[in-house]
Amino acid sequence: EPEVTQTPSHQVTQMGQEVILRCVPISNHLYFYWYRQILGQKVEFLVSFYNNEISEKSEIFDDQFSVERPDGSNFTLKIRSTKLEDSAMYFCASSADSGGTQYFGPGTRLLVL
Amino acid sequence: AQSVTQPDIHITVSEGASLELRCNYSYGATPYLFWYVQSPGQGLQLLLKYFSGDTLVQGIKGFEAEFKRSQSSFNLRKPSVHWSDAAEYFCAVGASGGGSNYKLTFGKGTLLTVNP
């Protein structure tokens, strides 16, 4: 069964450093998403992406965040200058249709020191 | 804006007992509703979804959920819980913010503990 994959599974970084989280969505999906889950809290929407542009972003997704689909398979989330409060589990998701079921990857646990 | 409430933070049941996890949503139109399960250290796995039609939906692992518009609820049920069902369960509502994508708004989750 096709699945969403994410790399790395864990990342530790120093405050102020740039990180890039990578995702490979399901191959025939067209809609892509990033969510995050701070430890002990609920999963929060960050951004949605379709047709090579951002469709919607949350208040969390400020100028320090960016997303890109650099080729036909990868979907990345970049945090330009990490803060302590960026420590969280980051989930990538994809769907075939607008409003369709979103399938989630296993997540990348980011720890900012 | 849409919201999801899961009133129970933690539920403990005995193996073989029945289970009901509550979910209430707030959304102005007909919602898309989902239940996801997250085992420790794992990602989110879809259990079931409601888009339209029959208000009782069947999912994987023997779970079902019933959409009740009058109560704005989408409660998850299982007639007989197995020890492997111990996990955190998230209810979510899908809604468009005006763009092409539907974003999911999640509840805070219900942690299920299963006693032998």
Contacts (Cβ under 8 Å, ≥6 apart) of B35 = B21, B23, B46, B47, B48, B49, B59, B63, B65, B74, B76, B89, B90, B91, B92
Confidence bin at B46 (pLDDT 50/70/90): very high
**Residue A55, pLDDT above cutoff 70:** yes
Residues of A in contact with B42 (CB under 8 A): 106-107
Report, as an integer, the average pLDDT of A84-91: 96
* Overall average pLDDT of the A76-88 stretch: 97
Minimal-distance CA residue of chain A relative to B95: A99
Query: Which of B45, B96, B105 lies at the smallest CB-CB distance from A45?
Result: B105
From the list B49, B100, B109, which residue is nearest A98 (CB)? B100
Cα gap B109→A91, rounded to integer Å: 16
